[in-house]
Chains A and B, each alone.
Chain A
């Protein structure tokens, strides 16, 4: 069997991987605590990330394109051809201090927070980070802009009554404060391929944050296929960026913005109904569409299934469910 002995490095420790051995087998032999199940590339339990080199192609078979781009790979399928630095999924994170430079309300309960960094912060629009308070309390928030020369990240934070982190951000954080921000995470983002493909973006509440980033990115990269954004909430006062999005729709012929309200009072120019139902009713067939779903976990899960049944392929369905940590 061909192959060479290589070094695997995880958090400063190094392990040897024998010729022909998979990364998973090597790590298990070395008693590294790594999750796995099927050992044949099906279950994706053993997905890890290469921090330095491109993983072998065979080790990325069946992964979503956005995961491939971030050098994720399946340890059970990886017979390394060179030394690798590997990150396990649950490995402790690296935080960077950022400074709050904008803190203003987007609507009655959504805060626009802009955090600036000294050095470039690399991410793909649509990813999320973990914000951490000095006492260790940590929550995930989606990045709403595309990479900027000013090294700033934009967030939309909804106030959850009694919510520990969101109320703290709303009530106590001001311009000039510093906050710890993790590395970007998640694989719900735009890749500039198949630019003629239709894009369906569906979000509730601050689910607009990642979608806004994805939309800006897609338009900037010259996406030529139709782009539909359905943004929903119960009441008019909980939507935001309405004028900006309408303006964008006037500027880009292929972009369509459909604000939806599920409550009783629906002003002219808005569609009545739940955003997921409105979006589904607008399409007879989603074959070959790329779908992005963000916000309420139930909406996201329901729509994953429904868009799949309407013909979208699972590998083209990207989602971020905004799970709230139960106490």
Chain B
């Protein structure tokens, strides 16, 4: 086996979460992302600011999930977590706005484009659950 093959093998067996930088990457992304979300009049009403520390923890959960990292959420959990928001009118346009900020945050952190695409695909796959469809 050549070195290149070896490398490739190693890369293939690592999860996106590991390749993107694990918890350190999540921590770097969370604050950038949350500032964007709170500044976006289209969606900030969904983010209750009564407890910033808890909100930050939830954004961490969001990124860990989008990076395919270790988490215990099921599709049903996602439905339940977002059900109150769907009642408030959460729809595709809001989902798209969140996807936009996810992408912009990762670009700002200079994450390679192919990894951004992977993260976006994982987040995208939650669309139906998040929107309760």
| Chain A residues within CB distance 8 Å of chain B | 38-40, 42-44, 61-62, 301, 304-305, 308-309, 313-314, 317
A39 touches which one: B34, B39, B57, B72 (CB < 8 A)? B72
Per-residue CB contact flags for chain B residues 45-86 toward chain A (1 = under 8 Å, else 0) read: 000011111101100110010000011100000000000000
Flag whether B120 is at the interface (Cβ < 8 A): no
| Chain B residues closer than 8 Å to A42, beta-carbon distance | 57, 60-61, 64
| Chain B residues within CB distance 8 Å of chain A | 23, 27, 31, 34-35, 38-39, 49-54, 56-57, 60-61, 64, 70-72
| Chain A residues closer than 8 Å to B54, beta-carbon distance | 43
Please give me the 8 A-B residue pairs with the lowest Cβ-Cβ distance, nearest first: A304-B52, A305-B49, A42-B60, A314-B56, A43-B57, A42-B61, A42-B57, A309-B35
Contact in complex: B39, A309 (CB < 8 Å): yes
Beyond the given pairs A40-B72, A308-B31, A313-B31, 7 more chain A to chain B contacts, judged by CB atoms under 8 angstroms and listed by A's residue number, are: A38-B71, A43-B54, A61-B23, A62-B23, A301-B50, A308-B34, A309-B38
| Chain B residues closer than 8 Å to A305, beta-carbon distance | 38, 49, 52
Within the complex, the shortest CB–CB distance from A101 to chain B, in Å, comes to: 37
Sampled A-B contacts (15; CB under 8 Å): A38-B71, A38-B72, A39-B72, A40-B70, A42-B60, A42-B61, A42-B64, A62-B23, A301-B49, A304-B49, A305-B38, A305-B49, A308-B31, A308-B35, A314-B53
Nearest B-chain residue to A39, judged by Cβ: B72
Within the complex, the shortest CB–CB distance from B48 to chain A, in Å, comes to: 11
Chain B interface SS verdict (over half): helix
Nearest B-chain residue to A40, judged by Cβ: B70
A51 to B56, CA, bound (A): 28
A301 to B23, CA, bound (A): 27
Contact in complex: A40, B71 (CB < 8 Å): yes
| Chain A residues closer than 8 Å to B35, beta-carbon distance | 308-309
B52 touches which one: A61, A62, A308 (CB < 8 A)? A308
A323 to B50, CA, bound (A): 13
B61 touches which one: A38, A62, A309 (CB < 8 A)? A38
| Chain B residues closer than 8 Å to A62, beta-carbon distance | 23, 27
Nearest B-chain residue to A308, judged by Cβ: B52
